[in-house]
Structure 1
């Protein structure tokens, strides 16, 4: 309890009240029905005053039990000392980043890697101190990542760490254009996705797949390690053939147009949200036209609406040279019926994993950082 801005020890507080009644330790012990030794321990602050003892002392000294308990609580806090600095660091990180999930996935591994948790977090974000980690710095300090939410940023840094380990030829824009042409043929087949890593590597594009973090809602990203090293990251948030090809072509558009060189582009819900800027409008338009030519899709939709027979959908997919799942995906979006012909929205993640290492889903890509 604070008396004249003074934190008083519980034993001293009780002693003062005893003196006001001219009581000795023996008197107090007698009134409490306990030993003098027990009273001495309280008065010398060697024994904390429990809730039961506070109630008993309140009766014999004519005090408020809550007042005695408050004296003990304030003294406990005053004498507890500063908490372990690691508690401050952990809570500071956890307030911004999904730290436990990052540790669960092995991105930060205090068990097998050298260094404290704080040092490993700094290594993950490639900085020298926690104050330099984006979103952990003082509010007045700005960084290039201020517009990227923490969970998305952690995912982005993981993609970068893996991309830095990859060895690819120098980026060639003409080869990427040729790669997109090859993708147009591959998208007709259910297992066409397994060739994507090889085709992008030959064009000098680092292709990284990292499972998205909870609530991050990431589809993909585009950024450059330098002017000759573009990176395409994908989260495979929806394991569906239509989403895979749309997001991939969306990110390829960013690379082909040189987007993301000054600041990483993180794309979330690319098929469900309207374009946010010119760059996104370009990428969305090219991705949609790649999956199913927009004019032909609109014409088919208007001609057949409101009845879309499965055989007609399959025939239309063959005519435009695409997988039926890509047509179904477009129709579901237009109709707002996400149960329509779902069997055609085949899963592709396992097929893709047969031709590349993917980070997440129980797997960890080893990195130096």
Structure 2
């Protein structure tokens, strides 16, 4: 191992006894951690209590573990971008919070998630207060749902993964606080669990501002849209021709979802993101969840 090892390497002594890791591999993981740390907004992490000071790399033990476990480099070491560093520490926190929840016994065993169950969840959307209860509702289905606010500049809306315990986890970043964006992110991540559970040992992180290109993302988008409204119904629904808010409201009530979701789908499809602003900005999801905190 290199002789020029920094003093704070000693804070990660617990990894040196691993039977499966050479000292060189551990040190390479540590260098990757240092690189990520250099890109992170230290003041923000201190304010959140994620680190104790702007020099406190030792509090990032969970991120160090994740970097070292990421042998393929598909997530934690594939580039030096600032967004990747933000995404990496955010995902590490999501996993840490999920493991803590599971350790309390509050998450049931996971037995699958059907398309019918997805539709039932989507039809909870008219009650805006249900957002606070969703983690408990999903816990009964064996899914750990974590609200973990986006870091400034981070381009991730949600994540889906599976822990070694077999429990699926979804992380919601609340990068945007619109109700339509929240519900589409939620159902998109749950669609990954329904469709792609067998590959979620490698986490999926989603930036829903970008167009889906991989078959995995296309299929999750397709299922999410179908969950909200059947394609045959959507194809000729009245709001496509009658642009009034009243038409959106009546159609939404007829299919059992919140009208902001229909408005959001129309905005996305038309590319006119100035339309229906009064509907999609009617509620502040972060305010609902964190009560202004």
**Unaligned stretches of 5+ residues in structure 1:** 1-83, 135-140, 355-360, 363-369
**Helix, strand or coil for the counterpart of 1:314?**
helix
- Residue 19 of structure 2 corresponds to none
The structure 1 segments of at least 4 consecutive aligned residues displaced by more than 6 Å after TM superposition are: none
In 1, Cα distance between equivalents of 2:275 and 2:261: 13
Matched, 1:203 2:146: no
In 1, Cα distance between equivalents of 2:226 and 2:259: 15
On the 8 A contact 1:151/1:213 being kept in 2, the answer is yes
**Helix, strand or coil for the counterpart of 1:109?**
coil
Aligned in 2, Cα 1:334/1:209: closer, same or farther, shift over 3 Å? same
Moved more, 220-229 or 332-341: 332-341
**Helix, strand or coil for the counterpart of 1:203?**
coil
In 1, Cα distance between equivalents of 2:238 and 2:210: 21
Match of 2:182 among 238, 244, 259: 244
Alpha-carbon shift at residue 181 of structure 1 (Å) = 3.7
Alpha-carbon shift at residue 93 of structure 1 (Å) = 5.1
Matched, 1:143 2:73: yes
In 1, Cα distance between equivalents of 2:254 and 2:118: 19
Alpha-carbon shift at residue 143 of structure 1 (Å) = 3.0
On the 8 A contact 1:220/1:234 being kept in 2, the answer is yes
Match of 2:268 among 330, 333, 346: 333
Q: Render the CA deviation track for 1:110-144: whole Å, top value 9, x for unaligned.
A: 49xxxx723223x142449xx9598xxxxxx9634
**Helix, strand or coil for the counterpart of 1:143?**
coil
On the 8 A contact 1:222/1:260 being kept in 2, the answer is no
Matched, 1:95 2:34: no
On the 8 A contact 1:152/1:216 being kept in 2, the answer is yes
In 1, Cα distance between equivalents of 2:168 and 2:251: 35
TM-score by length of 2: 0.75
In 1, Cα distance between equivalents of 2:51 and 2:222: 38
- C-alpha RMSD of the superposition: 3.2
- Residue 173 of structure 2 corresponds to 235
In 1, Cα distance between equivalents of 2:233 and 2:58: 55
In 2, Cα distance between equivalents of 1:127 and 1:321: 43
Q: Render the CA deviation track for 1:147-173: whole Å, top value 9, x for unaligned.
A: 471111111001111111003111121
**Unaligned stretches of 5+ residues in structure 2:** 1-5, 9-30
Matched, 1:262 2:206: no
In 2, Cα distance between equivalents of 1:259 and 1:237: 27
- Residue 318 of structure 1 corresponds to 253
Q: Summarize the alignment of residues 12-91 of structure 1 with structure 2, pairs less than 5 Å apart.
A: none
**Helix, strand or coil for the counterpart of 2:123?**
helix
In 1, Cα distance between equivalents of 2:271 and 2:115: 33
Match of 1:253 among 180, 191, 202: 191
In 2, Cα distance between equivalents of 1:259 and 1:350: 35
Aligned length: 254
In 1, Cα distance between equivalents of 2:44 and 2:194: 34
On the 8 A contact 1:293/1:320 being kept in 2, the answer is no
In 2, Cα distance between equivalents of 1:302 and 1:316: 7
Alpha-carbon shift at residue 185 of structure 1 (Å) = 2.4
On the 8 A contact 1:245/1:291 being kept in 2, the answer is no
Matched, 1:214 2:152: yes
In 1, Cα distance between equivalents of 2:204 and 2:53: 30
Aligned in 2, Cα 1:142/1:214: closer, same or farther, shift over 3 Å? same
TM-score by length of 1: 0.60
**Helix, strand or coil for the counterpart of 2:236?**
helix
Q: Summarize the alignment of residues 354-369 of structure 1 with structure 2, pairs less than 5 Å apart.
A: 362=293
Alpha-carbon shift at residue 302 of structure 1 (Å) = 8.5
